[in-house]
Amino acid sequence: MPWETWELLKWWQGVFFLGLGALSGCGNGDSLETFGGPTMGSTYSIKYVRHANLPAAKDVQIQVEKILAEVDQQMSTYRSDSDIERFNDLPGNRCQKMPAPILKLIRVGEQLSEQSEGSYDLTVEPLLNLWGFGPQGREEKVPDAEALAQVRQRVGYQHLRIERDQLCKDAAVEVDFNSIAAGYAVDTIAAKLEAMGIHDYLAEATGELKAAGRKLDGSAWKIALEEPRDDQQVAQRIIKVQGYGVSTSGDYRNYFQQDGRRYSHTFDARTGAPVSHALASVTVIHPSALMADGLSTLLLILGPERGWDYAQVHDIAAFFVIRADTGFVTRTSQAFERLSGDKTE
C-alpha cells in the first residue's frame, strides 16, 4: 500500500543521480548491476559494481526487497496490519510489544524532538489527517480552532515511553515514521550490501540515498541537488558522495492554497500548523541515511534562521534553498562546505 507521506516522493524533491558510467565491464570482468521497483508509495533503486565472485543482481534484489517488505510491515501507516498502525489504534495507557527497529526509531525521534524543543515530533499524524495530508485525511483545508485544539491533545512525543521491548503511550497518540523510515531502510540495505561483499554501490529508496566506494569507471558517485521547481528537474549543485547518506526535504510540491495563503505539508508540532517561513528545501549529508532523513525534516521545520543556527551548532552538513523576491537563494553550513568543498562541479 502507498506511503503518501508528509515528505511525499522526496525522490522528486531534491536529488537525482548523474553520470552512472558504462554498463559494461572494463576488461576485468567487472560490471555495473542495477535494479529497482516500487516501495513506500514511490520507488527504490540499487546500483553496484559487481566484481568477481560477488552475487548476481537477482540474488541481491531478493535480500533488498526482504528488507523493504519488513520495513513496510513494521512502519507503514497505510496498512492496518502494520506494527505501528496496530499500536496507533490502541487507546491511551496501553503498551504493545514492538520489534527492535521501531524502538530504535522512537529513540531517534525523541532525540530530534528534544533538540528541536518539540517542533519535530513523530506523533503529528492526527494533525496531518486533520489538515488533509495524512493517510486518513479527507480534505485539504484549514481546520476550525475547536477541531485543532481537540487534535492537539493527541499530539506530543512526551506521551510515548519504552518499557523493555514494549512501546507505551499515556494518551491516544499516533506515531508516523515517514520522516525517518526510508532513511532507516537505506542504512539497512547498505549494511546488507556490505555484508554480501559489495562495497561499491549507490542505494536509494524514495529519494533517500547512500553511496560508497566508486563507480565502474573508478569515479565517484554523483548526485545533483535540485532547484525547487514544479515543472522540471534542474541541477542547482552537483556533489560527489562517498560513504555518506543524503536526504532532501522540501515543501514545494505538496501543499494547498486557501484564501490566498499557501499551506505546506511540513508541520511544526508546537503550533499544530504548517510552517509559514521562506525555507523551500534542505539537503543534509550525514554518515547515516537515517539521521540525514530526520535532520533534513527537522531543519525544514525550524526554517531558515532557526534551522541554520541548529545546523551550525550541531555541525550538520546542510544545504538550504530559501525563497526570495527574485527567486531562490542558497546557503550552506560550514560542515557542508567541508564535505563538498572540492567535490562540486
Mean pLDDT score, 200-214:
96
Domain containing 133 equals 82-169
Q: Is 107 inside a domain boundary?
A: yes
Tell me the residue type at 212.
A
Calculate the alpha carbon distances from 28 to 4, 51, 165 in Å: 43, 9, 49
Do the bridges between strand 166-169 and strand 94-97 make them parallel or antiparallel, or are there none, so unpaired? Answer: antiparallel
Here the CATH number for the domain that contains residue 104 is 1.10.3980.10
Q: Is 100 inside a domain boundary?
A: yes
Q: What is the pLDDT of residues 268-327, one digit of tens each?
A: 999 998 888 899 999 999 999 999 999 999 999 999 999 999 999 999 999 999 989 888
Report residue 24's pLDDT band, with 50, 70 and 90 as the boundaries. Answer: very low
221: its cell numbers: 558517485
Q: Is 48 inside a domain boundary?
A: no
* pLDDT > 80? residue 263: no
Mean pLDDT score, 101-129:
95
State the pLDDT at residue 338. Answer: 87
State the pLDDT at residue 121. Answer: 97
Do 66 and 136 form a contact (C-beta atoms < 8 A)? no
194 SS3 class? helix
Question: Rounded to whole angstroms, how far apart are CA atoms 193 and 189?
Answer: 6
Residues contacting residue 341 through CB under 8 Å, at least 6 positions apart: none
Q: Among 111, 76, 141, which Cα is nearest to 273's?
A: 141
Q: Is 177 inside a domain boundary?
A: no
Q: Is 335 inside a domain boundary?
A: no
Give 266-306 as a DSSP string.
-EETTTTEE--SSEEEEEEEES-HHHHHHHHHHHHHHHHHH
Question: Rounded to whole angstroms, how far apart are CA atoms 15 and 54?
Answer: 29
Q: Is 192 inside a domain boundary?
A: no
How many C-beta neighbours within 10 Å does residue 218 have? 11
Tell me the residue type at 146.
E
State the pLDDT at residue 22. Answer: 41
The count of domains in the chain is 1
Do 288 and 187 form a contact (C-beta atoms < 8 A)? yes
At residue 122's C-alpha, the angle toward residues 103 and 329, to 5°, is: 125
Q: Is 223 inside a domain boundary?
A: no
Give 302-334 as a DSSP string.
HHHHHHHHHHHHTT-EEEEEEEETTEEEEEE-H
Question: Rounded to whole angstroms, how far apart are CA atoms 255 and 98?
Answer: 33
pTM for this model (two decimals) = 0.89
- Which of 119-133, 176-190, 314-328 tops mean pLDDT? 176-190
If you search the block for the grid coordinates 560542515, which residue do you land on?
335
Q: Is 254 inside a domain boundary?
A: no
State the pLDDT at residue 5. Answer: 34
Residues contacting residue 197 through CB under 8 Å, at least 6 positions apart: 53, 54, 55
